[in-house]
Structure 1
Amino acid sequence: MFQDISCLEEIPIPDSLQPTIFIQNSLIKLVKNECVDKFCRIILESEQYKTKIIVEKLAEELVILSQIRQNRFHLISRICQNLFSESYYKEQLRPLLLRRIFRESSYYLLLCLYNDQIYSQNDIMNLILEQKRSDFAMYFAPEFGLIDTSIMIPKQWVKKVIKHLSDYQANDWALFKEYRTLGWLPNSIVAAIKKDDLDALLDFEVDSRFNINNFIEASPLEPFRLPRVNTYMSLAAIFGSINCFKLFYQSDIPVTDRIMHSAIAGGNYEIVRICARSVCDGFEAAIEYRQNEIMDWLLQNSLCKISSAVCMDWNNLLAALYLSDKTETNEILIKGMNEIYEGKAIAMPEIVSSSSNYF
């Protein structure tokens, strides 16, 4: 484990930002149902969260959570079940969250929420038809059946599925369902890496066609936020697949900035420590993926530095306040954050650009 540093917990937070930072900081810490229930009680019992801006923020943050933490789908579903039990959040948050899911193409998150009866077939189909989304139509074909997508512009992955539709449809869509669950084609090298299946990976390695240095394009069905292009070792790092990662590391593959960034994004402490022996970079990944413990560790060990402006690029408010070591800087950031949430500003970079001398 990393050092038990509580710097982020001790930051004075302005009242106007308390609700947003509470949501951001709490969501990344939720690992058990009891914690989820406590989080929801706080939201439900306080009127300060019942504003259009905060509800929109909550919808955004729930989707972000599904993208920057592995396997939090059941917790997100439990949050929805709790919050939607109150009419205000059912009427306000529920439709906003669905639209945010469509906007981010968070297919697997929606599948989990559908399976838990958070959203119905009608809810999803209505938005598919309204937005002409062939990708969601294809993704839910095993549940809803194939629909006419001729008036929709198909995404590239949809075209590939249609090209081999009979294979994907066979045995009650068995292959396609596995594809959705894994986020990658079954029995592929990446599927083996994601499952940390060392034996399967070794079987691929003996194949003469296997190239350990290949670049792999991110799968559109992978729910975790990935760089557009990856290596096998960076994928092992981001999925926290320690056995596969060590195999690549022991094969003398150099640890690059890309791999260090992936290790931090994945949050496996052992992998991060191995990478830190060679590369002392990756702070931005800690900010983007809200790996606050790793961010603390990097700071305490003087491995890298970064400005508050970068934190705001990734909408990590707590980290931005933490890194603001001048009163003037704090005032600019707080003013900018408040303007965003009051609808007076669109993006933080516009606010900080005129005050770049402070960073």
Structure 2
Amino acid sequence: MIPSVLPTYNRAPLTFVKGEGSWLIEDDGRRFLDLGAGIAVNALGHANPALVEALTEQAGKLWHTSNLYDIPQQQALADKLVDTTFADTVFFTNSGTESCELAVKMARKYFYEKDQPERIDIIAFEGAFHGRSHAAIAAAGSEKMTKGFGPLLPGFKHVAWGDHDGLHAAINETTAAILIEPVQGEGGIRPLPDQCLKGLRDLCDEHGILLILDEVQCGMGRTGKLFAHEWAGIEPDIMMVAKGIGGGFPLGAVLASEEAASGMTAGTHGSTYGGNPLACAVGAKVMDIVADPAFLQDVNRKAGQLRQGLEGLVSSHPEVFEAVRGQGLMLGLKCKAANTDVVAAGYEAQVTTVPAADNVVRLLPALNISDDDIKEALSRLDAAATQVEQAMQKA
């Protein structure tokens, strides 16, 4: 019989019932150090007091009215995002997948209104992950994402990661936009070099097309800047945001310049729940904390501490690990052993991590993880690696 919860996940046999900062408490009382943060969602840890207060205060006032009316909390969060980013305008969603849908629509509608309706093609990259809706899987293009769900939404071209010649060849008179993650998450923690992101911006300007950045996973302080593209000193035309922006509460957004958003007039898009008072009250508090330069400076300090420890881990376990990759507190351990074995051994050592493509284990801790918890995390990862080594020796 099919279970009551649709079995689309191979879930670990763990049932967490409580969270405290960077820790998760299992139903049986065991405490796990959380280096996954709900896949980069719990940017400020579990049950963060400031977020609990913001949510509780709003919950006692008003939960939902719909976008038929002005929502003060939505306006406040939009103003914070506009004031601190490239964007002139913001549309709020409930997830990264929804943000992808709007980003695609916005790019195509822009050219339609410019009397260039033939410009519908969006260039995306091998290894990408943009969500699981039809537009998002068409953008990713991999067999893993698309098999069995055809016919796929047309209008997407795919270029191999790092293939500059292929990228130039893919641009023609039907191209509307280039869509890319500044740091691939699901694809194996692959950062795009700053010079390449600058080159993409120049290429889009040269051909009069839009640059869409997917910062769903790498945004909101994850790389040590509020958004990852800031390291390259460029600005996108459209940007997808989600995960960390809600600190654990479902919230996403599409940020855009006034020009890129010019086709999105009344009636062209909507969301019943998007930008509801609860989500935006929490999101505004997340922004207050994460956008603080002192907070981001501390993220970079902790990232250096964690990365140094991980480099030592790779040196100590050369049969298990190959290298450390990533930026800020979005790090990956490239494995020689099966990454799933490393994740499973982590469960035994009571530390949670997240697998990714290219045989990588993702480390996405809360941005406010303590120095002591970083040391403990490294100790538990060391224990997990030792367990994997012992299993390899017995095999």
TM-score exceeds 0.5: no
Point out the structure with the larger helix share.
Answer: 1
Q: What TM-score do you get using the length of structure 1 for normalisation? A: 0.30
Question: Bigger relative contact order, structure 1 or 2, given CA contacts below 8 A and separation 6+?
Answer: 2
Q: What TM-score do you get using the length of structure 2 for normalisation? A: 0.28
Point out the structure with the larger strand share.
Answer: 2
